């Protein structure tokens, strides 16, 4: 049974969203790898959002990624 996850990445002044399917229950690493693949092939909906600039205490850029399984 196909599982679908809604993935949201924020940071670097962008908000990116995608619905990513998986054949089996994915691990966190598999979700991160598939999300990177979606970025590489421009399969994520990316919107500019200057309010989403995240900085660490040392001033380095960072991002947040959230995901949730979609129930049919």
Query: pLDDT grade, residue 7 (50/70/90)?
Result: very high
Domain ranges of the chain: 3-70
Over residues 10-18, the mean pLDDT reads 87
Tens digit of each residue's pLDDT (9 = 90 or more) over 15-32: 999 999 999 999 999 999
CA 37, CA 41: separation in Å to the nearest integer? 6
pTM here is 0.81
Over residues 44-69, the mean pLDDT reads 77
Beta strands per DSSP E along 1-72: 3-11, 14-22, 45-48, 54-55, 61-70
């Amino acid at each position: 049974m196909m599982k679908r996850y809604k993935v949201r990445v924020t940071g670097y002044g962008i908000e990116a969203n995608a619905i990513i399917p998986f054949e089996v229950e994915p691990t966190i690493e598999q979700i991160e790898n598939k999300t990177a693949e979606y970025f590489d092939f421009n399969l994520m909906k990316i919107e500019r959002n200057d309010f989403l600039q995240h900085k660490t205490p040392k001033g380095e850029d960072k991002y947040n990624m959230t995901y949730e399984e979609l129930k049919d």
